[in-house]
Amino acid sequence: MRRLLMSAAALTISSLAALAQVAPRAPALGPGTPSPPGARAFSVARLKYGGGGDWYEDRTSMVNLLHGLTARTSIPVAGEREAVVDPSSAALFQYPFLFACGHGNIKFTPTEVTNMRRYLTTGGFWWVDDDFGVDPSFRREVRRIFPDSPLIEIPYSHPIFHGLYEFPNGLPKIHEHDGGPAKGYGIVHDGRLVVFYSYDTDLGDGLEDEEVHHDPPEKREQALRMGLNIVQYALTH
């Protein structure tokens, strides 16, 4: 099992053990029930990156992902809202799971590059969702964080596609974008997937409230299931 971030927001070892026993439950999104008193609960943080890109895009995605975790798993969740963190902040290390998306430019300062590398090599996990436009700058910046570790395509056999839900053909296709196949890419450090990049699919849009993009229920369900797989993988590897 991967090393956990030493923070109040990280799950305890007993909580992670319980995660192995989770099973899919009712398909509906919903607020679910509060975490047990005293539980050290899971939180997700959104990365407020510089460069001019819309880091705040997909405003309801993480809320719905947290609702899904509460409704379908035994993972205790700390509230119904995401945190927002700067890549240079020490607060980054309070969260085991980091999310980023957007349509525009991502740009890190040298200090932010160092902090992101430290976060990811000491137990953190970063999910980046391509919102149709972020690809060139994300690839450039992740090379700065991991100059010696290439961004590789994740094979369909990888555990991230075979967790709570089975995705034998890899990422589901939510939005058309360029019309190509959805692909998962990642950075592996010391045998652990530390960065997961969902490309040409837009899982974040699929996780949004129904009235935002008017995606059909089956697309929203696919996005939620894949999102739950990503969280489960991050917390158990």
User: Is position 198 within any domain?
Assistant: yes
User: Is position 4 within any domain?
Assistant: no
Q: Which of 81, 136, 127, 126 is nearest to 103 (CA)?
A: 136
User: Is position 3 within any domain?
Assistant: no
Count of structural domains within the chain: 1
User: Is position 164 within any domain?
Assistant: yes
User: Is position 109 within any domain?
Assistant: yes
- In this structure, the dihedral spanned by the alpha carbons of residues 161, 224, 83 and 92, taken in order and rounded to 10 degrees, is 0
pTM: 0.83
CA distance 179 to 204: 17
pLDDT 10s digits, 34-63: 333 444 689 999 999 998 777 877 678 999
Position 52 scores a pLDDT of 78
User: Is position 1 within any domain?
Assistant: no
- Looking at per-residue pLDDT, the higher value among 85 and 5 belongs to 85
User: Is position 90 within any domain?
Assistant: yes
Count of all residues that appear for the chain in the document: 237
Position 123 scores a pLDDT of 96
Q: Which of 12-16, 27-31, 49-53, 116-120 has the lowest mean pLDDT?
A: 27-31
- Looking at per-residue pLDDT, the higher value among 19 and 108 belongs to 108
CA distance 89 to 70: 28
What's the CATH code of the domain at 129?
A: 3.40.50.12140
- Which structural domain, as residue segments, surrounds residue 82? 13-236
CA distance 119 to 109: 15
pLDDT 10s digits, 144-165: 999 999 999 999 999 999 999 9
CB 222 within 8 A of CB 206: yes
Strand partners, 188: 193
CB neighbour list of residue 197: distance below 8 Å, 6 or more residues apart: 127, 128, 129, 130, 138, 142, 151, 184, 185, 186
- Looking at per-residue pLDDT, the higher value among 33 and 93 belongs to 93
User: Is position 7 within any domain?
Assistant: no
